[in-house]
Each structure stands twice: as C-alpha cells, then as structure tokens.
Amino acid sequence: MVKDRRLWFTGLAVLLSTTTTLVAVPSGQTMASASTRSSGVYCVSRIREYASVAKRMAKDLDRRFEGRDSDKGLKLTDSKTRVTCWYHSHRHFIAASVIKVTILAALLRRAQQEHRHLTRAETHAAWLMITQSDNDAANQLWFDVGLRFMQHFLNLAKMSQTKLDYHWGLTLITARDEMTLLWLVSNPNKVLTKASRVYVRFLMAHVIAGQRWGVPAGAPRGVRVHVKNGWLPYPGALWEINSLGTFTTKTRTYLIAMLTYNNPTMAYGIDTIESAAEVIHALLNPGKHRTVPASVPAPGWGIPDERVR
C-alpha cells in the first residue's frame, strides 16, 4: 500500500513548481517488568514500580485506537518511568514535513564535520523550515546537504529503516527511526553536539501556533514542548498525518513519535494522534492538570503541506 501511494506521489511531484519539491533508546539496563500487550499496543517499563503504568497505558491506547480508520505507527519512551510503548513501529509511512527535522540534523552534522557554525542563510532557512514548515527553505537545505550526506547522517544515526527519496516529502520513515532521531536531539551522543541538540529543540519549541497540534495535546504545565508535524493528502482524499514531539523538564525527558495514514480528513488524523497523546501525558504525569488542550481546526487545516499547481 505504501509503495502504491509512493508511486502516485512521484507522479504528483511532476506538477510541483520548480522551486518547490514534494516534499533508540540506550541499551544495557535490565528489564524490570515483562512487556504488556493489549490487543495491539505493547508497553514495558524498565522499573518494576512502573509496570502498572505500562499495563494501563497499553490498554488505554488500545481503547483510543479501537474503531479508528487511521493506520498508525507509534513509539514512546520516558526517561523517568522507563516506560516504552510501540505499535507498528517498523511500518513505513510517507514522511511529509516531519522529514524536516532530519534535514536540520544532517545540516548540523555537516557543519560539525566542517568545524563551523551555520551561515546566516542556513540559519534563516532552518528557522523557516521548522517553525513555519516552509517548503522553499526545506528545498534550499535539502539540495544543499544533498542525498549522499543525508544517507551518511542516517548511517551515523543508525536510522536504517528510513528510505530517502529525491523528493524529500516522499521519504519513507518508521516510528522506530523517528524515535531514534528524537533521542539523538535530546540526549548526549556522538552524532550531534550539545549545541546542535539545543538548536534543534529550540526551533521545535517555536513552531507557530497553527502547527502545534498532534502529540502536544494533553501536556501539563511545567513541561517544555518541542514539536514538528507533517500533513499530506493522497488519492481518494485520504491523508498522511504525522507528529513528533519531545517533552522536557529539569529532571525528565519523554519522546513521542506517531505516524498515521488512511485518514479521511486532516482533522480526523489529528484527532487520532491527539487522542493517544492525551492518554500518554495523563499517565506519565498523574495528578497534573493538562494545559495543552485538544486542537481546534485552524484555517490552514485541509491545505496540503506541499504546494501543488
């Protein structure tokens, strides 16, 4: 099914304007509780104290997924409870604009290898690409970094399931690889320096209001939200709706990657993601009042993230 949609998008790319292109968690710890599966979602905690949280989360996520037309891929990790959840985390989805986080990370890695800071032009394009999901800015950086270096970054990052396409939005991704990326921008590692990681999160924290839907829904006060989303229709008026988020406090980081397709409308896909996100935030932050409400449809909803003539 993904291959069929990808072929359609390849044809669609021909219609684009000349300036617009379509666009792991650390190991070594002893598992403290057996994985909990409830019909489809698997959850586990590395700390026995939180085994009940993992069990409850699997059941509650299954309830939220039940009856939804959306095809879903999910990966979640939390540094405090050591809860990890996954659902079809190796299934491929068309990236749309969530690939822009990977483009930015690859750009920063290249600058690191060249022992330099980003240029003024690169900084400006990165700001527009992440905070406003600007496609012209993404094109500029995509072709500047180049497919060869993009693949080099994926190899370094061990994002082995990501399949690049010449048209960046057609790249195939998995929740597993997107979680690997979120971990790299949130934790010390050999691929991205602290300055690079802080910069990526800074931009994701300043995404414009109309694009801050998705996995932030249900986040409580005191949690710093960093998000990047992607949205794109395909034949039959169905939508790819994807959302990535990192959520941090002074003592904790939890990460959510949720990818969907087969959504009849953009709003339907957003609701699928936000319904799951509300469960996650509530169970990871018991007793805390949520301060990020479910999204209200905005004027831009229903408009493809990629521009087509």
Question: What DSSP assignment string belongs to 197-225?
Answer: HHHHHHHHTT--GGG--STTTTPBTTPEE
Residue-level pLDDT, tens digit, the chain, 309 residues: 666 666 555 555 533 333 333 333 333 333 443 344 445 999 999 999 999 999 999 999 999 999 999 999 999 999 999 999 999 999 999 999 999 999 999 999 999 999 999 999 999 999 999 999 999 999 999 999 999 999 999 999 999 999 999 999 999 999 999 999 999 999 999 999 999 999 999 999 999 999 999 999 999 999 999 999 999 997 666 999 999 999 999 999 999 999 999 999 999 999 999 999 999 999 999 988 777 777 776 666 666 666 533
Closest by CA position to 260, among listed 133, 88, 138:
88
Under DSSP, is residue 151 helix (H, G, I), strand (E, B) or coil? helix
Backbone dihedral angles phi then psi of residue 305, each to the nearest 5 degrees: -65, -30
Q: DSSP letters along 36-48, please?
A: EEETTEEEEESSG
CATH superfamily of 2-19+32-284: DD-peptidase/beta-lactamase superfamily (3.40.710.10)
**DSSP class of 73:** E
Q: DSSP letters along 78-137, please?
A: ETTT-EEEEESTT--EE-GGGHHHHHHHHHHHHHHHTT-PPPHHHHHHHHHHHHS--HHH
Q: Is the pTM of this model over 0.85?
A: yes
C-alpha span between 59 and 50 (Å, rounded): 15
Residue pair 241/23 in contact (Cβ under 8 Å)? The answer is no
C-alpha span between 119 and 138 (Å, rounded): 15
